[in-house]
Structure 1
Amino acid sequence: MIRRSLRAPVRPGWPLLAQGAALGVLAALGQAPWSLWPVALAGFGGLVWLYSRTTRTGHAAWLGWAGGAGYFALSLFWIIEPFLVDIPRHGWMAPFALLFLAGGLALIWALAFGVARHLGGLWALVALWSAAEMLRAVLFTGFPWASIGHIWADYPMAQLASLGGTPLLTFLTLLISAGPSLQQRVIGTGLSVLVLAAAWGYGALVLGGNLATDTGKTVRLIQPNAPQHQKWDADMIPVFLQRAIDLTAASAPVQPDVIIWPETSIAYPLDASPNTLAGIAQAGGGVPIIVGGNDRVDGNWHNTMLLLNPDGSRGATYYKHHIVPFGEYIPFGELLAHWGIRGLASRDGAGFAPGPGPALIELPGIGTALPLICYELIFPRNLRGLATRPDLILQITNDAWFGEVSGPYQHLAQARLRAIEQGLPLVRAANTGVSAVIDPWGRIMAQTLLGEAAYLDAKLSAPAAATLYAGIGDWPMRGLLMLLLIWQIAARRRNRVDVSGAQG
């Protein structure tokens, strides 16, 4: 006997698209700063339920696109902020940037929904939707911001990232969301509750059984709070520089072991600023200082992290290697510059040049650090594959580009997940905030407020044991998703045989 669903199929058209978009918006409320995971689960669950009522590949694909468009429109609406820094030059691009980004990323969800409907079954959707999120982390250099698994950054369940990274969190989120839409609804709902409780309980046990170990070292994070629209103003540059110097020289009961300035905190070219560097070093009072700036090497500009020695000389240098498309560079930049089209943070038309790749730097008296500049932190792959395990992750960033509503908090949430994935402490100095010191389990040990000028002195935690995810990365999740898809394809073939036999 062939079982048929008693659910009435959904009708294609604008009502389906509107419902999908609304549910996508609900799902986005799981992202920081809202972090409403029950609302997010309701949104994802609603999309799964609507998918279960579709009967055609095209209808499912349109539903996936609408859900993705709503989800990315809300979770990534901060993307308009960089275009509003220089409104006469870039302001007209702001709405198009959001529309094209949300609509473009939604195409990946549409593909997952459409192929899943072709294969049939909710398990196919869970597997392909999870795979779609992994795909957008690498496609066209990747953009994993606002991944589904990020909704757990503030909660114990985030500890599972040490086992399977964000992809595991994404898979479990969709698994939990899909349970109530199974034909055996009571069993499916019970399965969802069981998975959520088990994952939450595991995280609570990890957090309860692991306390941060104090290294006895103190880091000072400098947050000068230079708004992006004033940051490169010739009249304001010396104001922000002096503010950062004053924060560096501020007295405290305990002298810091290292002082960290944010990304591009020095507005003058590093290769032409010996007096500026000497003044900063003098303010440090014998403490090594990490500064951010723009360096020119062989005619190419680099977004740079520089270790400034106590005598003012240049020490270890790191050049950002994962630069932002259409932000720090655009293809054919020299040509397009003739029409006034440049990257938002670019120089000389072509923009910044990438550095040679991931590298470690030695912080005197602290240990070995993995340096990351801004956007590089959102890619877990930038933290793996090193020959030597560092003692900490060091990020400098200028989150003034992201506004003051959601972007900086989402960036902070991703920093917490990177710490969990690697089992390493993480320190981040952000121009406008949020600057923070994070322990190896993603707990914020100290932080500044967004939009304040301040310095933050905090103790540095010791590393935890190397995590499973740090060693093997995404391969187990790729294997699991592949097995699920093979199972669904085999089940579809069996159903075809059963139907043919029943009709014969």
Structure 2
Amino acid sequence: MTLVALADRTRGLRGWSRAAVAVALGALAALAMAPYGVLPALVVAMTGAVWLLDGTRVKAPPLRVGLKAAAVIGWCFGFGFFVAGLWWLGAAFLVDNDEFAWALPLGVVGLPAGLALFTAASFVAARLLWSAGPARVLVFAAALGLGDYVRGHVLTGFPWNAFGMALGEHVLLAQFASVVGLYGLSVIAVALGAAPATTGDAAGLKAVWLPPAAAGLLLAALAAYGALRLPVGPVATVPGVKLRIMQPNLAQDARRFSYDNREPIMRHYLALSDGPDRALSSGASGVTHLIWPESAFPFILARNDEARAQIAALLPPGVILLTGAARSAPRLPGEITTRFFNALQIVADDGGITGTYDKVHLVPFGEYLPLGDVLQGLGLRQFVHVPGGFSAGSVHELLHAPGLPPVAPLICYEAIFPGAVVPAGDVRPGLLLNVTNDAWFGDTPGPYQHFSQARLRAIEEGLPLVRAANTGISAVVDPYGRMVASLPLGKEGVLDAALPSVIVPTPYSLHRDLLFAILIACCFLSRTVSDRREAMQNAEQEIVSGAHGDGI
């Protein structure tokens, strides 16, 4: 079957057949995300999606009919993409399965159904500006890129697995995120994937192969940019800093991660951090900063004198601990319940807590319940075992730890939001510190996707990333997104590494999404240019035809 015949057959699909193909194409596109990174899957998926949208213009149906069909195709494509890319969320419902297993369909099917509305809206926007020529590829790319941007900001925002992560998964190609950010990569990734759709057009050989040829050149240019940007050797490191990241690989079910098990949990942390030769506590390791992951304790650290005394006994003079920990706040006048925060705290060598950052961007249903009073009345609660869930911190701010440059703290999925990982202000941080706990998701694609997105923030900002994850992936990443040291998923251990230095501010860190907006405008403008060119060609043909008709 020729490409033209395959395209025509795809355009001719209707009803359930068209919906099923759209779902399958969306699921195929998910293979381009971490941990797979199969770029050809995105090409097939986006090319097929363009042909399906082409089919909404067959025999020029009324616009409302075409828009309705585009919405259905877009929703089905998005549903397939998000189910295939986010199915691992179901693992969290099985950690305490006696309490949450019944709600598993809400996470595995309900969330993708809601997220697919953004894809449906993107397909409708593309259909409004659809044309028969190659410009439709850029219109499609702009619409999906804009959809990713909106998805990342509406309500609490959820930019997980934006289409740009197909390029962000590959360090060489991801370097252009330092210019246009994740959402700009989304536009480019969709354009690259959709460009071969023109090979199914019944036109001259040169015309149909121009867009895929241009896409090939663009891909080569991205790779060349990445190769030129990446230095040959390692970046310089911050003098006098040696990090030790502890990855305990601790299960999160209510039975094992409980207050009753606080003593064996602390013994595990202390022994693992110290090492079999007790090099940390003796000072022989040379470690200056010890880092533990998010929500490390099944108790309030500030209230537990014994635990802080144990930490003090572990830390040599001058060494500090940065750790995730739940924090409670004194009740304010009129408050009847205690507020709890998901925090990142600095613990000095005497066991005192000298600095705290409270997580600002909480996970809905994981750390708090939207419409809490209503849903709690129905018997629901958030995943974390905290009465009433966590409260959000007031402001994302730098954390100042002795011996370190200013720290941009990122707790759990705060690291997935492009442009929001660096606190506002004139002081540029010296590192991104991401403490997280992906134990809820086991050995699934989820932790790999989380790490890949956090790593892209380092590339966007030109800042090193230090990441401590309970079950992995813990790592030190340089400002170009290259791994300096890491611990694999599902393994306990420690890693020691120097802290890479920052590099010059990137264009993205200076201009944020301005260049993305320009890219969107250029893509939509291509439709106008294409229409004018087509109108001029038609006018010339009419003139020529008229001249021949007059016998000239």
- Which category of TM-score, normalised to the shorter sequence, fits these structures? over 0.9
* 2:225 corresponding residue in structure 1: 202
Gapped runs of 5+ residues in structure 2? Answer: 58-65, 202-206, 332-337, 543-552
Instruction: Tell me if structure 2 keeps the 8 A contact 1:65–1:110.
Output: yes
Q: Distance in 1 between matches of 2:216 and 2:537?
A: 33
In structure 2, the residue matched to 1:38 is 40
Using the TM superposition, give the Cα deviation of residue 337 of structure 1 relative to its aligned residue in structure 2, in angstroms.
2.5
Q: Which SS does the other structure have where 2:175 is aligned?
A: helix
Q: Which residue among 194, 204, 208 is the counterpart of 1:185?
A: 208
- Equivalent residue letter for 1:35: G
Matched, 1:165 2:197: no
How big is the shift at 1:483? Answer: 4.3
Q: Give the structure 2 partner of residue 13 of structure 1.
A: 15
Q: Is the 8 A contact 1:120 1:492 kept in 2?
A: no
Residue 234 of structure 2: which of 211, 221, 236 is its match? 211
| Cα separation, 1, equivalents of 2:537 and 2:170 | 47
Distance in 2 separating the partners of 1:416 and 1:77: 22
Moved more, 490-499 or 98-107: 490-499
**In the alignment, does 2:291 pair up with 1:291?**
no
Q: Tell me the distance in 2 between the aligned counterparts of 1:443 and 1:219.
A: 17
Secondary structure in structure 2 of the residue aligned to 1:140: coil
Residues 71 and 124, structure 2, Cα contact 8 Å, conserved in 1: yes
Asked if the contact 1:41–1:173 (Cα under 8 Å) also holds between the matched residues in 2, the reply is no
- CA positional deviation for 1:495: 7.5
Q: Report the number of matched residues.
A: 497
- Alignment check: 8 A CA contact 1:304 1:318 kept: yes
Give the Cα–Cα distance (whole angstroms) in 2 for the partners of residues 201 and 498 of structure 1. 37
Describe how 1:78-157 pairs up with structure 2 within 5 A: 78-121=88-131, 122=136, 123-152=138-167, 153-157=169-173
Aligned to 1:310: 349
**Residues 137-161 of structure 1 deviation map (CA, whole Å, 9 limit, x = unaligned):** 0011100111111122233010001
Residue of structure 1 equivalent to 2:510 = 471
Judge which range, 62-71 or 491-500, deviates more. Answer: 491-500
Closer/same/farther in 2, CA of residues 95 and 64 from structure 1, 3 Å limit: same
The 8 Å contact of residues 327 and 346 in structure 1, kept in 2 or not, is answered as no
TM-score computed with the length of structure 2 as normaliser: 0.85
Residue 308 of structure 2 aligns with which residue? Answer: 277
Partner of 1:220 in structure 2? 244
- 1:45-71 Cα distance to aligned partner (Å, 9 max, x none): 222233233322222222211111111
Query: What's the secondary structure of 2:479's corresponding residue?
Result: coil
Decide whether the 8 Å contact of 2:237 with 2:498 is kept in 1: yes
**Compared CA separation, residues 92 and 426, structure 1 to 2 (3 A):** same
State whether structure 2 residue 409 is matched by structure 1 residue 371: yes
- Please give the TM-score of this superposition, normalised by the length of structure 1: 0.93
The 3 A distance-change label for structure 1 pair 37 and 486 is closer
Is the Cα–Cα contact under 8 Å of residues 65 and 107 in structure 1 kept in the other structure? yes
1:206-251 deviation per Cα after TM superposition (whole angstroms, max 9, x unaligned): 1245632122421000111111215533443322221111122224
Deviation string 1:395-430 (CA, Å, 9 cap, x unpaired) is: 110111222111111111011100001101110111
Identify the match of residue 413 of structure 1 among 442, 445, 452. 452
**In the alignment, which residue of structure 2 is the partner of 1:352?**
390
| C-alpha distance in 2 between matches for 1:162 and 1:479 | 15
Counterparts of 2:441 and 2:165 in 1: how far apart (Å)?
18
Q: What does residue 262 of structure 1 align with? A: 293
- The reply on whether 1:27 has 2:43 as its aligned counterpart is no
Secondary structure at the residue paired with 1:429? strand
CA contact (8 A) 2:302 2:327 kept: yes
**1:395 and 2:434 aligned:** yes
Gaps of 5+ in 1: none
Which of 72, 75, 88 aligns to 2:82? It is 72
User: Partner of 1:361: helix, strand, or coil?
Assistant: coil
Q: Does the aligned pair in 2 maintain the 1:52–1:181 contact within 8 Å?
A: no
**RMSD between aligned residues:** 2.3
Describe the superposition over 1:451-475 as per-residue Cα deviations: whole angstroms up to 9, x where unpaired. 1121111121111111110111112
Partner of residue 430, structure 1: 469
Larger Rg: 2
SS of the residue aligned with 1:441?
A: coil
Deviation at 1:482, TM superposition (A): 3.1
Name the structure 1 match of 2:262.
237
1:449-460 mapped onto 2 (5 Å cutoff): 449-460=488-499
1:86–1:499: structure 2 CA closer, same or farther, 3 Å change rule? farther
1:258-291, Cα deviation, whole Å (9 max, x unpaired) = 0001011121113311221121122122310012
Report the 3-state secondary structure (helix = DSSP H, G, I; strand = E; otherwise coil) of the residue aligned with 1:363.
coil
Q: Decide whether aligned partners of structure 1 residues 340 and 207 sit closer, same or farther in structure 2, where only a CA change above 3 A counts.
A: same
CA deviation map 1:435-494 (0-9, x unaligned): 100000001111112111211111211111111101111122123313433553686699
**% identical aligned pairs:** 35
Q: Distance in 1 between matches of 2:351 and 2:385?
A: 28
- Quick one: distance in 1 between partners of 2:185 and 2:129? 24
